[in-house]
Amino acid sequence: MSALASKAVTKILKDRVSTQAPPDPHIEIIVDAKGKTKKVVRPLPEGLSKRDKKALKKIRRRAHYLDKGMNLCGFRVGWTFFIGIIPGLGDVVDAGLNYCLVVRPSRKLDIPDSLLSKMLVNNAISAGLGFIPIAGDIFLAAWKANSRNAHLLEEFLKIRGQELLAAQGQGPSGIHPDEAAAVGLSPDVLRQLFAPGSGMSAHEDAETGQGRKANTKPVRA
């Protein structure tokens, strides 16, 4: 992928994903018909291959338990907080878990190098904070690198899914014309960067082809 293409993907994801403390990537709180709040698993984006769905679901769940799985005096923390308390060794273990459980499986999903680099930077910041005594562990709990990475991956896959559905005639493109203009690439070129249908099995691909054929209307002269 060219440098321009990498910057394009990075800018789009940065604009769409908040730089503030990330929400829980796996669980959301809703209000039911009776006005009561309850926790539910966040739905997956539409249009993803079975491979991407399975991987994203697993990564979101792992990020949840690493960053936000427990309540400590009203503050959501995860295993990385408690492991990081162990001087020296804890920070090394945290960095290893962050990479092995979130980043490494993400890189198998045909993501661009720019997205992988951003995830690694988030992990590097997390590792650096962990080496600061006491205050570092507090900032580390607030930074939540795994949740940030899970949200970056989900936004990328969400656009990929929208592009596949658009190719099937089942919805609009996930690429906004203004976004394409802002990064200096045509919408068609930009769509190619999100590899719609990536990771589909032969069976899924056959079904997709039939769906595209069924949704294609003949053009009259």
**pLDDT per residue over 94-139, tens digit each?**
889 999 999 999 999 999 888 999 999 999 988 887 667 666 666 7
Region 29-43: mean pLDDT is 88
Q: How far apart are CA 50 and CA 72, in angstroms?
A: 36
Sign of CA dihedral 53, 176, 187, 4: negative
Q: Is 34 exposed, middle or buried (0-12, 13-18, 19+ CB in 10 A)?
A: exposed
173 has pLDDT over 60:
yes
Residue-wise pLDDT tens digits, 138-155: 676 678 889 999 999 999
- Cα–Cα dist 156/168, whole Å: 19
* pLDDT value of residue 115: 92
pLDDT score at 47: 94
Residue 140, pLDDT score:
63
Q: Tell which phi-psi region holds residue 74, choosing left (phi > 0), alpha (psi between -120 and 50) or beta.
A: left
pLDDT of residue 217: 38
Helices (H), 68-201: 79-84, 89-98, 104-107, 113-130, 135-143, 145-167, 177-183, 187-193
